[in-house]
Amino acid sequence: MSRLSGFPEWLPAQRAVEQRVIDLLRETFELHGFAGLETRAVEPVEQLLRKGEIDKEVYAVRRLHADDDAADSLALHFDLTVPFARYVVENANDLEFPFRRYQIQKVWRGERPQQGRFREFTQADIDVVARDVLPFHFDVEVARVMAEALSRLPVPRLRLQVSNRKVLEGFYRGLGVAEPTAVMQAVDKLDKLPQDAVRSLLLQAGLDERQADACLALSAISTSDSSFAEQVTALGVEHELLAEGLAELVRVIDGCAGIEGVDVVVDLRIARGLDYYTGTVFETRMAGYEHLGSVCSGGRYDELARDNRNTYPGVGISLGVSRILSPLFADGLVADRSVPSVVLVAVHDEAERAASDALATALRSRGIATEVAPAAQRLGKQIRHAERRGIPYVLFPGDAVQVKDLRTGDQVDVDPTTWTPAPDDLRAGIVRPTPAPPEETTP
């Protein structure tokens, strides 16, 4: 039977890495008070397609024997934002606003599979949503929380790039540009097209050469601190919206200062092509895997959802868990054992299996993942069975219980009621691939 393209199924040692990543994300989000949420897998088709952006990517769902003209047409959700918006409206009377949620869940898209892109994959989202007014400090918080989460992951160094659509739109309007959205869409292609090609797009959009060059000069500004504001001001463009956006962006970059293990930078190339973003926007690249594009993105949207009485503005950011892990798995990222077991209890004789089971039960009662040998084979075969599965310790029952560390060969007497493996051994370790050299990016 052939594999289904675009629907990844990881091996146990890879799944252990994915679970570890999910645990680290969940732990970080919950430390900041975000509540876990899971929404249904399907939504009404008209709900998913109301913006008309990716109608060809939606998987429709229907019962095998349903009527062709069934009115309750459903589809699998292609992201977690649309279901979240619906959830907020439906449960607004029972939620405490501002509502802070995280969601780690499968999504489905019918796009062409390629490296880092699947038809079924896992995303991890955090959002803060309010009723009518969302204070700006939540933009800072969301950026900081995701930066902290990214810094804990067992992946190559990540670069969280922050921008603000008010800065871009205000700058373009200050230049006299009539259609700022078209300029943003062109500038957003700088990671994919040479600068000269983007300049041509700007000229085609109606800008003159002076305006096009000024837009490219703005897009070239990138700093890890608030010095970007002085560089923007030095370009000599003034607009009220520009000043507002610069002040907001300074707050975000200052709020993320001091987070180790991840690079948080202002990058004014980042525009995010979708027009529902209204302020702060995020994109993220992974060192050595820049060809994947952004692996974590989002921003501020002042109309996440609305009902007959209220508007629900929000700010959020989404990490493609499958997107970052799949190329790393291909390059050798793996757990150092294919099972959670840290101890294998040997069986000297099938008649004595109950004694081995009792030892395993005692270890499990203290939180030590343990399995019992499947057969009372020669001890050498039982040890090789543990080695193949990556289990680091073998416990031998008897009048004097002994434990063997298969990595060092040391074997010592232990008290099974108190002995505990080294703390680092209680969870599977992660074997990381050799980092690829960073790719050059077009300025």
Asked if 184 and 198 count as a contact pair (C-beta separation under 8 A), the reply is no
pLDDT band for position 220 (50/70/90)? very high
Asked if 161 and 286 count as a contact pair (C-beta separation under 8 A), the reply is no
Q: What is the mean pLDDT of residues 52-79?
A: 75
Can you give the pLDDT at residue 389?
93
Chain-centre distance of CA 442, in angstroms?
25
pLDDT band for position 440 (50/70/90)? low
**Encoded tokens for 426:** 């209680």
Chain-centre distance of CA 142, in angstroms?
13
pLDDT digits (tens, 9 = 90+) for 324-363: 999 999 999 999 999 999 999 999 999 999 999 999 999 9
Residue 443 has pLDDT above 50, yes or no: no
What's the CA gap between 88 and 132, in Å, rounded? 13
Dihedral, CA atoms, 411, 415, 416, 417, nearest 10 degrees? Answer: -160
Residue 274 has pLDDT above 80, yes or no: no
Residue 328 CB partners (closer than 8 Å, separation 6+): 155, 156, 289, 433
3-state secondary structure of 412: strand
Q: How far is CA 18 from CA 174, 285, 317, 339, in A?
A: 47, 19, 19, 13
Can you give the pLDDT at residue 442?
47
pLDDT digits (tens, 9 = 90+) for 158-192: 999 999 999 999 999 999 998 888 888 888 888 88
pLDDT digits (tens, 9 = 90+) for 203-216: 998 999 999 999 99
Q: What is the mean pLDDT of residues 45-56?
A: 68
Q: What is the mean pLDDT of the chain?
A: 92
| DSSP letter (8 states) at residue 388 | H
Report all structural domains of the chain as residue ranges with CATH numbers, in order of start: 12-38+80-334 (3.30.930.10), 343-430 (3.40.50.800)
Cα dihedral 411, 412, 418, 419 sign: negative
Residue 108 has pLDDT above 60, yes or no: yes
